[in-house]
Chain A
Amino acid sequence: MAKKILMSGNEACGEGAILAGCKFYAGYPITPQNELIEYMAKRLPQAGGVFIQSESELAAINMVFGASVTGARAMTSSSSPGISLKQEGISYLAACELPAVIVNIMRGGPGLGNIAPAQGDYFQATRGGGHGDYHSIVLAPSTVLEMMDLTTLAFDLADTYRTPAIVLGDGLLGQMMEPITVLRSAYSVLRKDVRNTQCSIRNTKPWALTGCKGRKPRLIRSLLLGDGQLEALNDKLQAKYRTIQKSEVRCELFQAAGAEILLVGYGSVGRMLKAIVSQLRKKGVKIGLVRPITLWPFPQSELYNVSKGAKRILVVEMSAGQMLEDVKLAVADKDIVEFYGRTGGGIPSEDEIISKLKVQSAKRKVKI
């Protein structure tokens, strides 16, 4: 039995990348994800990888682009304002069908905002974020252990689908410390074939640029000027996104089956809501939780199925209501969806959420 070690979410994320065989990291310091870039500076060279503190977030994402071009597993991380700068590169990665992992430890916005935890980048992450019709796979950890496991999973999914994958955490998760057991990660067994050796790159990434020895030259590009070429690429991307939507939805349902009141939240809010469900279940309230783990693809049918018997759905976010739109779409905009959110780095407390549940409006027959 491996012993437990105390790690912050940011460090666990870095270790998850190491476990996944990440060989390249470039990043630029920004609070509240500095422990991650510092962890990679120390840990990645030990694991035979290359760490670069880049001159900007733009340079970082483009260095990751370059590393990914060669087939190497590559990652960058930042927090909200820095992620905005990376959007250009993420769009190019999606267009060129290059795998990469981007970690966003969200902070309060818009603008420079503050350094407190927030979830205001949900739209940016799940809708594409940069220019053009594309999606990134978005994973939302809610514990330090998940920061590690979902980062490893992000590498596997990115390679499987040749697409950028985003780990969307927040300042609370990044800074929080918990004892975790670092074994081989639960998810890393998925794609043993796409480990990061020259041999595995040759076998599993027949698109990587390695020099055209013994083969025809390869080209990676996103400029498609020929008649219909760009539409053909978009059709291909959309088909890939449909496959991802079919195969890669992940969510946690906690006491959700048959619940009259459903709470919906992700990341650190999801964790908070889980504690509330446990607490209220003890009092006999028929309450449950839906915690999306993949934000894109969104667990639409999972949510729809458990919402059939629900009389109230309360969405809680550290934003003005972004995932709220996906929840409304999933439950066909039933008039039972309520929202509680805090913005600008405000963190909803258990008391605030519970008092929201105590309010009985005319439409909503159930209260606690």
Chain B
Amino acid sequence: MKKVFERPKSLIDVRTHYCPGCGHGIAHRLICEVVDEMGMREKVIAVAPVGCAVIAYDYWDFDVTEAAHGRPPAVATGIKRMRPENIVFTYQGDGDLAAIGTAEIIHAANRGENISVFFINNGTYGMTGGQMAPTTLLSQVTTTSPKGRTAAMEGYPLKISEMLAILPGVSYIERTSIHSPREVLKTRAAIKKSFQKQIENKGFSMVEILSTCPTYWKKPTREAMKWVGHDMIAYYPLGVLVER
């Protein structure tokens, strides 16, 4: 019988620590599928963030380094500049990339660093217990915005992809989601395109992946998926923001 579906070789066969319904597992798997498909497992050097995905290296079967909170783009810069022949990517959450690491991501993008960035936006700080993220939606309740985020008190949710898209050093930014099979496939295609840009030396590329956190959103998985598809997408529209 023809095998039509199997675990990617780059994905280690262990149970993850992620909560049921969390989008990290899907994103990890998609990256590994693409790494396998493009035959890059032995060329990849990945940078893991601080946040729920900090131990992504327990699931990825290629070279990985940890970085301090928010600093993966700087660490990836050092790696890629010393080893341009390798494929270098960072995997960062919304706290890591859109709050504490804002300077690093903007300047890596502006230098046109030839790296791929996978930005997991689930609008909350999962690892520390569901606090407000810069990408938390207005009126979304978190442990540090207990009455719901307000523009007056906490400002508007930050649209990092739109901000970065205007920089000429950026080769490609797309916002995708994992809330439906169709969007999962589009996310996979976007991850592949980002790696292709790197292989072609086109410079900085990023895929913002809208993802779920059922645990701290306090929603069942199915509702969490629906919330991404309805509420998050309303503020963070999907699609290619820039391709050069």
Chain A residues close to B by CB (< 8 Å): 23-24, 26, 50, 52, 54-56, 58-60, 62-70, 72, 74, 88-89, 92, 96, 209-214, 217-223
Contacts and interface: CB of A to CB of B under 8 A. Distances in A.
Contact of B103 (A50, A59, A69, A74): A59
Interface string B24-50: 000000000000000001111101100
Contacts of B44: 211-212
A271 B48 CA distance: 46
Interface of B: 41-45, 47-48, 54-55, 57, 60-68, 71, 74-83, 86-87, 103-104, 106-107, 111
A28 B44 CA distance: 29
A219 B55 CA distance: 11
B63 A223 contact: no
Nearest to B69: A88
Contact of A221 (B43, B60, B66): B66
A67 B45 contact: no
Nearest to B42: A213
Contacts of B55: 223
A59 B107 contact: yes
A220 B81 contact: no
B72 to A, nearest CB: 8
Which of B64, B68, B75, B87 has its CB near the most chain A CB atoms (within 10 A)?
A: B75
A140 B111 CA distance: 35
A96 B57 CA distance: 15
B103 A70 contact: no
The 3 closest A-B pairs by CB, nearest first: A66-B78, A62-B74, A67-B78
A59 B104 contact: yes
A214 B63 CA distance: 12
A213 B86 CA distance: 11
Contact of B82 (A56, A67, A217): A67
A65 B42 CA distance: 21
Nearest to A63: B78
Which of A26, A66, A211, A223 has its CB near the most chain B CB atoms (within 10 A)?
A: A66
24 contacts: A23-B82, A50-B81, A52-B77, A54-B74, A63-B74, A63-B81, A65-B74, A65-B75, A66-B67, A66-B81, A67-B81, A69-B65, A70-B82, A88-B68, A96-B66, A211-B62, A211-B83, A212-B44, A213-B42, A217-B60, A217-B64, A219-B65, A221-B66, A223-B66
A223 to B, nearest CB: 6
A222 B66 contact: yes
A63 B77 contact: yes
Which of A26, A60, A210 has its CB near the most chain B CB atoms (within 10 A)?
A: A210
Contacts of B45: 69-70, 209-211
Which of B54, B67, B76 has its CB near the most chain A CB atoms (within 10 A)?
A: B67
Nearest to A73: B82
A71 B111 CA distance: 23
Contacts of A24: 78, 81-82
A92 B65 contact: no
B79 A69 contact: yes
A74 to B, nearest CB: 7
A226 to B, nearest CB: 11
A68 B54 CA distance: 20
A209 B63 contact: yes
Nearest to B58: A219
Nearest to B103: A55
Given A66-B75, A70-B83, A211 B42 contact: yes
Given A211-B42, A212-B41, A212-B63, A62 B68 contact: yes
Contact of B63 (A23, A66, A74, A210): A210
A62 B67 contact: yes
Nearest to B40: A211
